Structure 1
Amino acid sequence: MKSPNSAPSATSLPRAPREDAGARFTKYMVTMGIRVACFIAMVLITPYGWYTWILGAAAVVLPYFAVVIANVGEDTRPAVAESPDRQIEAPRVAPEPAEEPPRVLRISETPRPDTDR
Protein backbone atom coordinates (compact mmCIF):
# COMPACT_ATOMS: atom_id res chain seq x y z
CA MET A 1 0.00 0.00 0.00
CA LYS A 2 1.36 3.39 -0.91
CA SER A 3 1.67 6.01 1.71
CA PRO A 4 -0.74 8.93 1.34
CA ASN A 5 2.16 11.39 1.27
CA SER A 6 3.87 9.88 -1.77
CA ALA A 7 3.32 11.76 -5.00
CA PRO A 8 3.24 9.90 -8.33
CA SER A 9 6.39 10.19 -10.37
CA ALA A 10 6.44 10.83 -14.11
CA THR A 11 9.52 8.62 -14.40
CA SER A 12 7.54 5.56 -13.32
CA LEU A 13 5.20 5.79 -16.31
CA PRO A 14 5.55 3.08 -18.96
CA ARG A 15 6.87 3.82 -22.42
CA ALA A 16 4.43 5.46 -24.84
CA PRO A 17 2.56 2.98 -27.07
CA ARG A 18 4.05 4.48 -30.25
CA GLU A 19 7.59 4.14 -28.92
CA ASP A 20 6.88 0.62 -27.65
CA ALA A 21 5.52 -0.45 -31.05
CA GLY A 22 8.60 0.99 -32.78
CA ALA A 23 10.95 -0.88 -30.46
CA ARG A 24 9.05 -4.16 -30.96
CA PHE A 25 9.10 -3.69 -34.75
CA THR A 26 12.86 -3.12 -34.65
CA LYS A 27 13.41 -6.30 -32.61
CA TYR A 28 11.27 -8.29 -35.04
CA MET A 29 13.01 -6.95 -38.14
CA VAL A 30 16.49 -7.64 -36.73
CA THR A 31 15.55 -11.22 -35.91
CA MET A 32 13.98 -11.76 -39.33
CA GLY A 33 17.09 -10.27 -40.96
CA ILE A 34 19.17 -12.87 -39.14
CA ARG A 35 16.75 -15.53 -40.46
CA VAL A 36 17.18 -14.36 -44.06
CA ALA A 37 20.95 -14.32 -43.61
CA CYS A 38 20.83 -17.91 -42.29
CA PHE A 39 18.72 -19.02 -45.25
CA ILE A 40 21.03 -17.35 -47.80
CA ALA A 41 24.13 -18.77 -46.07
CA MET A 42 22.53 -22.23 -46.08
CA VAL A 43 22.05 -22.11 -49.84
CA LEU A 44 25.30 -20.40 -50.86
CA ILE A 45 27.92 -22.01 -48.62
CA THR A 46 29.37 -25.11 -50.21
CA PRO A 47 30.32 -27.90 -49.61
CA TYR A 48 27.22 -28.82 -47.67
CA GLY A 49 27.79 -30.26 -44.21
CA TRP A 50 26.54 -30.21 -40.65
CA TYR A 51 26.49 -26.39 -40.61
CA THR A 52 23.97 -26.47 -43.48
CA TRP A 53 21.52 -28.28 -41.19
CA ILE A 54 22.13 -25.79 -38.37
CA LEU A 55 21.57 -22.81 -40.67
CA GLY A 56 18.41 -24.46 -42.06
CA ALA A 57 17.09 -25.16 -38.56
CA ALA A 58 17.79 -21.55 -37.59
CA ALA A 59 15.93 -20.30 -40.67
CA VAL A 60 12.93 -22.46 -39.71
CA VAL A 61 12.87 -21.69 -35.96
CA LEU A 62 13.77 -17.99 -35.96
CA PRO A 63 10.29 -16.71 -37.01
CA TYR A 64 8.83 -18.15 -33.81
CA PHE A 65 11.51 -16.51 -31.69
CA ALA A 66 11.13 -13.27 -33.64
CA VAL A 67 7.47 -13.06 -32.69
CA VAL A 68 8.08 -14.05 -29.07
CA ILE A 69 10.94 -11.60 -28.61
CA ALA A 70 9.02 -8.78 -30.31
CA ASN A 71 5.91 -9.32 -28.18
CA VAL A 72 7.78 -9.28 -24.89
CA GLY A 73 7.07 -5.75 -23.80
CA GLU A 74 8.83 -3.58 -21.31
CA ASP A 75 6.27 -4.64 -18.69
CA THR A 76 8.40 -7.60 -17.64
CA ARG A 77 10.96 -5.32 -16.05
CA PRO A 78 10.13 -3.95 -12.64
CA ALA A 79 9.31 -0.27 -12.84
CA VAL A 80 11.90 1.81 -11.07
CA ALA A 81 10.40 5.08 -10.01
CA GLU A 82 12.47 7.99 -8.94
CA SER A 83 11.38 9.54 -5.72
CA PRO A 84 9.86 12.98 -6.20
CA ASP A 85 11.62 13.98 -2.98
CA ARG A 86 14.99 13.95 -4.77
CA GLN A 87 14.66 17.47 -5.99
CA ILE A 88 16.99 20.36 -5.59
CA GLU A 89 15.75 22.21 -2.60
CA ALA A 90 15.31 25.94 -2.79
CA PRO A 91 17.59 27.87 -0.49
CA ARG A 92 15.88 28.72 2.72
CA VAL A 93 15.44 32.42 3.24
CA ALA A 94 15.26 33.64 6.79
CA PRO A 95 12.05 35.59 7.40
CA GLU A 96 12.47 39.25 8.09
CA PRO A 97 11.97 40.09 11.73
CA ALA A 98 8.57 41.69 12.16
CA GLU A 99 7.55 43.99 14.95
CA GLU A 100 6.64 41.94 17.91
CA PRO A 101 3.29 42.62 19.46
CA PRO A 102 3.37 43.69 23.06
CA ARG A 103 3.75 40.76 25.39
CA VAL A 104 1.89 42.37 28.28
CA LEU A 105 -1.85 42.33 28.23
CA ARG A 106 -3.25 45.44 29.87
CA ILE A 107 -6.80 45.49 31.07
CA SER A 108 -8.33 48.65 32.29
CA GLU A 109 -11.63 48.59 34.08
CA THR A 110 -14.00 51.40 34.68
CA PRO A 111 -15.30 51.77 38.21
CA ARG A 112 -18.79 50.52 38.89
CA PRO A 113 -21.36 53.11 39.34
CA ASP A 114 -22.65 53.16 42.90
CA THR A 115 -26.12 51.92 43.02
CA ASP A 116 -27.79 51.44 46.35
CA ARG A 117 -30.96 49.75 45.78
Structure 2
Amino acid sequence: MTKQAKSPPRPGRRVRGSSTGRPVMALLDLLGRRWVLRILWELRDEPLNFRDLQAACGGISPSVLNTRLAEMRDTRLVETIQDEGYALTKWGRELLSHLTPLTVWSEKWAKTLG
Protein backbone atom coordinates (compact mmCIF):
# COMPACT_ATOMS: atom_id res chain seq x y z
CA MET A 1 0.00 0.00 0.00
CA THR A 2 1.47 3.37 -0.99
CA LYS A 3 1.24 6.38 1.23
CA GLN A 4 -0.96 9.08 -0.31
CA ALA A 5 0.32 12.65 -0.13
CA LYS A 6 -1.69 14.85 2.19
CA SER A 7 -2.89 18.16 0.89
CA PRO A 8 -1.96 21.27 2.85
CA PRO A 9 -4.43 22.56 5.40
CA ARG A 10 -7.03 24.91 4.01
CA PRO A 11 -9.79 26.97 5.62
CA GLY A 12 -13.13 25.21 5.41
CA ARG A 13 -11.64 21.71 5.51
CA ARG A 14 -11.03 19.49 8.51
CA VAL A 15 -7.59 20.25 9.95
CA ARG A 16 -5.71 19.27 13.10
CA GLY A 17 -7.68 20.63 16.04
CA SER A 18 -10.76 21.67 14.07
CA SER A 19 -13.45 19.69 12.31
CA THR A 20 -14.77 22.88 10.68
CA GLY A 21 -11.45 24.16 9.42
CA ARG A 22 -11.68 27.67 10.78
CA PRO A 23 -9.07 29.85 9.03
CA VAL A 24 -6.96 30.34 12.16
CA MET A 25 -6.93 26.59 12.80
CA ALA A 26 -5.90 25.88 9.20
CA LEU A 27 -3.06 28.39 9.57
CA LEU A 28 -1.92 26.91 12.88
CA ASP A 29 -1.99 23.43 11.34
CA LEU A 30 0.22 24.63 8.48
CA LEU A 31 2.61 26.52 10.76
CA GLY A 32 2.81 23.50 13.06
CA ARG A 33 4.18 21.30 10.32
CA ARG A 34 7.83 20.55 10.72
CA TRP A 35 10.16 23.07 9.02
CA VAL A 36 7.45 25.51 7.84
CA LEU A 37 8.40 28.27 10.29
CA ARG A 38 12.09 27.76 9.56
CA ILE A 39 11.50 28.05 5.81
CA LEU A 40 9.50 31.24 6.34
CA TRP A 41 12.31 32.62 8.47
CA GLU A 42 15.08 31.73 6.01
CA LEU A 43 13.21 33.42 3.14
CA ARG A 44 12.66 36.63 5.15
CA ASP A 45 15.39 38.69 3.46
CA GLU A 46 15.80 37.39 -0.06
CA PRO A 47 14.90 34.60 -2.47
CA LEU A 48 16.97 31.44 -2.14
CA ASN A 49 17.48 28.59 -4.56
CA PHE A 50 16.72 25.07 -3.40
CA ARG A 51 20.27 24.18 -2.34
CA ASP A 52 20.82 27.44 -0.48
CA LEU A 53 17.48 27.12 1.27
CA GLN A 54 18.27 23.53 2.25
CA ALA A 55 21.65 24.62 3.63
CA ALA A 56 20.09 27.55 5.50
CA CYS A 57 17.59 25.21 7.13
CA GLY A 58 20.42 22.94 8.25
CA GLY A 59 19.34 19.35 8.24
CA ILE A 60 16.14 19.28 6.22
CA SER A 61 15.98 16.43 3.73
CA PRO A 62 15.36 17.25 0.07
CA SER A 63 12.07 15.32 0.05
CA VAL A 64 10.71 17.14 3.11
CA LEU A 65 11.84 20.50 1.71
CA ASN A 66 10.09 19.72 -1.58
CA THR A 67 6.92 18.75 0.26
CA ARG A 68 6.92 21.86 2.45
CA LEU A 69 7.64 24.16 -0.49
CA ALA A 70 4.78 22.58 -2.44
CA GLU A 71 2.44 23.11 0.53
CA MET A 72 3.61 26.68 0.98
CA ARG A 73 3.21 27.43 -2.73
CA ASP A 74 -0.25 25.87 -2.69
CA THR A 75 -1.26 28.05 0.26
CA ARG A 76 0.27 31.14 -1.40
CA LEU A 77 2.95 31.83 1.20
CA VAL A 78 5.89 31.07 -1.10
CA GLU A 79 6.38 31.53 -4.81
CA THR A 80 8.96 30.40 -7.33
CA ILE A 81 10.84 33.20 -9.05
CA GLN A 82 12.57 32.32 -12.32
CA ASP A 83 16.38 32.23 -11.90
CA GLU A 84 16.15 33.27 -8.21
CA GLY A 85 14.50 30.32 -6.49
CA TYR A 86 11.93 30.62 -3.74
CA ALA A 87 10.62 33.79 -2.14
CA LEU A 88 7.88 34.83 0.23
CA THR A 89 4.75 36.12 -1.44
CA LYS A 90 2.94 39.21 -0.25
CA TRP A 91 0.94 36.89 2.05
CA GLY A 92 4.09 35.21 3.34
CA ARG A 93 5.73 38.55 4.15
CA GLU A 94 2.57 39.79 5.87
CA LEU A 95 2.36 36.60 7.92
CA LEU A 96 5.99 36.98 8.97
CA SER A 97 5.31 40.56 10.06
CA HIS A 98 2.51 39.29 12.31
CA LEU A 99 4.79 36.67 13.83
CA THR A 100 7.49 39.21 14.75
CA PRO A 101 5.64 40.42 17.89
CA LEU A 102 5.60 36.81 19.10
CA THR A 103 9.39 36.86 19.03
CA VAL A 104 9.49 39.95 21.24
CA TRP A 105 6.92 38.47 23.62
CA SER A 106 8.70 35.10 23.77
CA GLU A 107 12.00 36.73 24.71
CA LYS A 108 10.34 38.55 27.62
CA TRP A 109 8.60 35.34 28.65
CA ALA A 110 11.86 33.39 28.51
CA LYS A 111 13.46 35.83 30.94
CA THR A 112 10.70 35.20 33.49
CA LEU A 113 11.47 31.49 33.33
CA GLY A 114 15.15 32.02 34.10
Higher normalized contact order (CA 8 Å, seq sep 6+, divided by chain length): 1
Please give the TM-score of this superposition, normalised by the length of structure 1: 0.24
Please give the TM-score of this superposition, normalised by the length of structure 2: 0.24
Considering only CA atoms, is the larger Rg found in Structure 1 or Structure 2?
1
Identify the structure with the greater strand proportion.
2
Identify the structure with the greater helix proportion.
2
